[in-house]
Amino acid sequence: MQICNKTARRRARRILALSMGSALVPLALAGMPAQAQEARTSFDIAPQPLARALVQFSAATGTQLFFDPATVRGKSSPGVRGALTRGQALSALLAGSGLSYQLSGNTVTIAAPARAATPAAGATGEVVLDTVTLATGAAGATEGSGSYAAPEAATATGLPLTVRETPQSVSVISDQRIKDQGFASTREALNYTTGVSSVSYETDRDSTYARGYWIGNYMIDGVALPTYQGWYSGIGVNSSAATYDRVEVLRGATGLMTGSGEPGAAVSITRKRANARTQEGSMELRFGSWDKVGGTLDLGTPLNADASVRARFIMDADSHDSFIDRYHLNRQTYYAAIDADLTEKTRLRFSLEHQNYDPTGTTWGQLPAIFSNGEKIELGRSFSHAPDWAYWSSKQTSAVAKLEHDFDNGWQAEATLGATWRQYNAELLYLYGDIDQATGEGLDVSAWGGEERTRLLSFDAKATGPVALFGRSHVVNVGVRADQDWIDRSWPGVSGDLAPVGSIFDFDGSYPRPDFNPVDMPGYERNVTKYSAYASGRFSVTDPLTLIVGGRYTDWRSEFQGDDRKFGEFVPFAGLVYDLNDQWSVYGSYTEVFDPQSYRDREGKYLDPVMGESYEIGAKAELFGGGMNATVALFDTKQDNVAVQDGDILVPGTSEFAYRGADGIRSRGIEVELAGEIREGWNLFLGATALRMKAADGSDHAPEQPRRSVKVFTSYDLPGRGEQWTVGGGLRWQSGTWATVSTGGTDYRVEQGSYAVFDAMARYDISDKWSAQLNVNNLFDRRYYNNPGDISWGEPRNATLTLVSRF
């Protein structure tokens, strides 16, 4: 049957997606032919919204649930308590809802019955439904949900928890938001995330911060990306988002998840899975400003008759110029995934991805924002100090294999093996110094080129399952992890003298290419190895109160040209969640900060790790029948031994600036977030942050980071005659920032005032197989600097037209 309108299509997509009921990691129980033979489980599920009660049922029994969120929205469950079979518990949970279920082995399908039915013989409480075709999907998957909300937040604790049950701030950028806002890269998605600022201060490197701290921990499908994320051109935050199901941003200290890292945030990316049980696919073509041309091909198919083995292939390519002179980018991503149901209880997943990132006209560093006399420099938004020959190309290949097995006692074991290979090649020009306002002269010049290869191997094994203590049901997660990060560099020097740059007013990119000599600088090699063991648990103390505790012990080792360091650190986590009613909960959490660093002091010694602690209290809610997640959070983070530049002193025998450790860096603030559906067809995201960052002496720390920000985006499916249209819009606002710039021997405070950037989108469903979407960014062409201390302009108004065909 063809789907004739947008509402029907949306409902079909949701039925074909594993939605809120499968948000938790399946903890499978052996399927029995008759419920009379099934062991009983001790249930203690309080009265609450039905969707949440079903999620708790899934956690307690390990049963995989399938249902349409619209079917359960607005319905309540009376709860259930006692030692019951799964069928008896489901009958109690669904009492008064008008819904029925089908229990088959380890799978439950819940829907409004299509016809009157009677219980199957020997299966008390079971109801036989008309056949409903469903696709299996990853836990917490958002693809096809049509919503900005996401049910799961396992990133924070390793436990299968809903967003409301997680005692820490977490934002999830769903598949629908990625599509509606036309996010082409990770950086674009992060820049529209609560409490995060992600901009390019050069053409290709990023500057991504959360709560005022740099984000250095990134994971894809549970596998960590190589370190030095921010130092890479292209690969990383500039990677294509075409393969993403969702992006989770866990804000605050993330020691339980990562073992080490800054207390700003960690980013976990989950890619799309091979879910197709029939052949299906889509093709996307994009045309936009600055000669942008791009496309995405997405194909899914079963590989055998019963679709127990499925494959997916995604190819994405982009080519475009820029508002910046001489800059051009070619980017390609190739992704293949295979999901195999080896048995009813065992699944194998494998994915392979390769990315190419090839820019030309790449800038390295930025010119100062003021002339030598303190006057503001105005060179125009398109000005570039990169020569024609400058480039910073990179490529990355990653492979991930994951094996899952469900045990008869409700536990699930999971083992993940990942490998990432990354390489870059670069030849760049760096201009620095004080510019005379009258002549444009005064800049010195330096050149750099090189090659770097990075390899990261990662292994993680964990087990999650229910435990019964003191007459109540709880969930526990335990695991071990090992990561090895290896880096090899070859950075050539430059033969001969560099030509003078002359007046910056006359710079047109024709600067002569230097002679890069590959033997002038010795090689560089470094190995960082981390071994860790972790455990966490969600313990039901009383009906409304749950305790979440855990910890991770990390053994961190570095081997690098005489730098043989080793640290062992235990990072604890503790949180409480108290349910005020069926919608609202309050929570509090505590964790510690541990972050080894590679900065050296004026004596050439490496600084000790950054240490600290982080507190967070807040309230969370599931509004509009569970369709929207809401969070209000207060946070307080303190760090000691944070690296700050030690004036103009160099590390002995190098050209590197020396650093010293600063104690008492503190970040405090409040965050508010709403994400989800106000009602069917009307999605909303709102994130707001206000923070203070102070050094121990009370001065502002990192004033170039905005202290207040608001980000809003909404989309609405028009009703009636306009039902083929979806319209949307949003804004990013941030408060003013400032930086200290030294020129001519004098320090100047340079400010960037507050600004708002507005975006808009419109999508038209031409038919049930074709659609067209227009995204316009910076609608009113607001002029602003990404960083107040230099002349890196934010993007002017630009537009992208996207045509999508589904087959």
Which pLDDT tens digit goes with each residue over 166-225? 999 999 999 999 999 999 999 999 999 999 998 777 888 878 899 988 888 888 998 887
pLDDT tens readout for residues 105-125 = 667 778 765 443 334 433 444
Q: How far apart are CA 806 and CA 451, in angstroms?
A: 41
What DSSP string describes 116-162?
---BPTT-TT-B-----------TT--TT---S--SB-HHHHSS--B
Which of the four pLDDT bands, split at 50, 70 and 90, describes residue 54? confident
Give every CB contact of residue 65 below 8 A, 6+ residues apart in sequence.
Answer: 21, 22, 54, 55, 57, 58, 107, 108, 110
Q: How far apart are the first and last CA of the chain?
A: 15
Nearest-5° angle of CA 238, CA 244, CA 245?
Answer: 150
Q: How far apart are CA 78 and CA 94, in angstroms?
A: 8
Residue intervals of the chain classified under CATH 2.170.130.10 are 154-270
Q: How far apart are CA 6 and CA 12, in angstroms?
A: 10
Q: How far lies 592's CA from each of 169, 189, 267, 547, 552, in Å?
A: 15, 27, 18, 18, 11
Q: Looking at residue 91, what is its pLDDT?
A: 86
pLDDT tens readout for residues 449-465 = 888 888 999 999 999 99
Q: How far apart are CA 707 and CA 197, in angstroms?
A: 11
Which of 494, 511, 417, 506 has its CA nearest to residue 448?
Answer: 494
Q: Looking at residue 770, what is its pLDDT?
A: 96
CATH of domain 6-111: 3.55.50.30
> Is pTM beyond 0.75 here?
yes
Q: Which of 114-123, 226-235, 438-447 has the lowest mean pLDDT?
A: 114-123
Strand spans (E) along 434-514 = 443-469, 472-490, 493-495
Q: Looking at residue 122, what is its pLDDT?
A: 39
Six token digits for residue 75: 């319905």
**pLDDT higher than threshold 50 for residue 36:** no
**pLDDT higher than threshold 80 for residue 59:** no
Please report how the helices 50-61 and 86-93 are oriented relative to each other, as an axis angle in degrees rounded to 10. Answer: 170
Q: Which residue has the tokens 């740099």?
A: 214
Q: Is residue 510 classed as helix, strand or coil in its secondary structure?
A: coil
Nearest-5° angle of CA 547, CA 548, CA 550?
Answer: 135
Chain-centroid distance, C-alpha 210: 12
Contact 717/696 with Cβ under 8 angstroms?
no
Q: Which helix (DSSP H) or strand (DSSP E) does residue 59 occupy?
A: helix 50-61
Task: Tell me the residue type at 14.
Answer: R
pLDDT tens readout for residues 10-22 = 444 433 333 333 3
Give every CB contact of residue 244 below 8 A, 6+ residues apart in sequence.
Answer: 175, 178, 186, 189, 269, 270, 271, 272
Mean pLDDT confidence for 770-792 = 94
Q: Is 534 exposed, middle or buried (0-12, 13-18, 19+ CB in 10 A)?
A: buried
Strand spans (E) along 596-679 = 610-623, 628-640, 642-650, 657-662, 665-679
Q: How far lies 321's CA from each of 208, 233, 325, 426, in Å?
A: 23, 17, 9, 19
Which of the four pLDDT bands, split at 50, 70 and 90, describes residue 96? confident
Q: Which residue has the higher pLDDT, 156 or 701?
A: 701
Task: Tell me the residue type at 349.
Answer: R
Q: Is residue 253 classed as helix, strand or coil in its secondary structure?
A: coil
Q: Is 717 exposed, middle or buried (0-12, 13-18, 19+ CB in 10 A)?
A: buried
Q: How far apart are CA 429 and CA 367, in angstroms?
A: 12
Q: How far apart are CA 322 and CA 359, in angstroms?
A: 11
Domain range 154-270, CATH architecture: Beta Complex (2.170)
Q: How far lies 759's CA from each of 63, 271, 318, 774, 785, in Å?
A: 42, 26, 21, 11, 18
What is the arrangement of strands in the sheet containing 196-199, beginning at the earlier edge strand? 196-199, 207-210, 213-214
Q: Looking at residue 134, what is its pLDDT?
A: 30
pLDDT tens readout for residues 480-523 = 999 998 888 777 778 778 999 999 999 999 999 998 875 545 55
Q: Looking at residue 522, what is its pLDDT?
A: 52
Task: Tell me the residue type at 700.
Answer: D
Q: How far apart are CA 755 and CA 749, in angstroms?
A: 19
Task: Tell me the residue type at 557.
Answer: R
Q: Looking at residue 87, what is its pLDDT?
A: 85
Q: How far lies 800's CA from each of 181, 184, 602, 781, in Å?
A: 11, 11, 50, 15
Q: Is the dihedral of CA 698, 635, 633, 685 positive or negative?
A: positive
Mean pLDDT confidence for 382-389 = 95
Six token digits for residue 152: 């799961």
Contact 68/15 with Cβ under 8 angstroms?
yes
Which of the four pLDDT bands, split at 50, 70 and 90, describes residue 321? very high
Q: How far apart are CA 780 and CA 384, in angstroms?
A: 23
Task: Output the CA torsion 74→8→715→48 (10° steps).
Answer: 10
Q: Which residue has the higher pLDDT, 660 or 49?
A: 660
Six token digits for residue 158: 């390793």
- Checking DSSP bridges between strand 217-220 and strand 265-271, what pairing results, if any? parallel
Q: How far lies 639's CA from each of 169, 213, 267, 609, 668, in Å?
A: 19, 11, 20, 10, 12
Q: Looking at residue 572, what is its pLDDT?
A: 92
Q: How far apart are CA 269 and CA 285, in angstroms?
A: 24
- Selected from 2.40.50.140, 3.40.50.1360, 3.30.2020.30, 2.40.170.20, the CATH number assigned to the domain covering 271-806 reads 2.40.170.20
Q: Looking at residue 232, what is its pLDDT?
A: 53
Phi/psi at 668 (5° precision): -135, 145
Q: Is residue 31 classed as helix, strand or coil in its secondary structure?
A: coil
**pLDDT higher than threshold 90 for residue 634:** yes
Q: How far lies 288's CA from each of 82, 295, 381, 704, in Å?
A: 60, 12, 19, 31
Residue intervals of the chain classified under CATH 3.55.50.30 are 6-111
Q: How far apart are CA 139 and CA 21, in angstroms?
A: 9
Task: Output the CA torsion 301→302→304→307 (10° steps).
Answer: -170
Q: Looking at residue 153, what is its pLDDT?
A: 67
Q: Which residue has the tokens 């039905």?
A: 50
Q: How far apart are CA 351 and CA 166, in angstroms?
A: 29
Around Cβ 357, how many Cβ atoms within 10 Å?
25
Q: How far lies 499's CA from each of 423, 496, 511, 513, 715, in Å?
A: 30, 9, 8, 9, 54
**pLDDT higher than threshold 80 for residue 382:** yes
Which of 200, 203, 211, 208 has its CA nearest to residue 225?
Answer: 208
Q: Looking at residue 655, what is its pLDDT?
A: 64
Q: Looking at residue 200, what is its pLDDT?
A: 78
Residue intervals of the chain classified under CATH 2.40.170.20 are 271-806
Most confident of 25-34, 57-66, 273-282: 273-282
Compute the mean pLDDT over every residue in the chain, rounded to the nearest whole number.
85
**pLDDT higher than threshold 90 for residue 330:** yes
Q: Looking at residue 192, what is its pLDDT?
A: 96
Q: Looking at residue 89, what is its pLDDT?
A: 87
Contact 643/660 with Cβ under 8 angstroms?
yes
Which of 504, 501, 510, 500 has its CA nearest to residue 377?
Answer: 504
Q: How far apart are CA 615 and CA 251, in angstroms?
A: 11
Q: Looking at residue 283, what is its pLDDT?
A: 97
Based on DSSP, count helices (H) and strands (E) in the chain, helices before strands. Answer: 8, 43
Q: How far lies 432's CA from each of 179, 230, 351, 441, in Å?
A: 40, 21, 44, 11
Kindly provide the b/e burial profile for residues 315-342, where b requires at least 16 CB atoms within 10 angstroms of the residue's own CB.
bbbbebebbbbbbbbebbbbbbbbbbee
Q: Looking at residue 234, what is its pLDDT?
A: 60
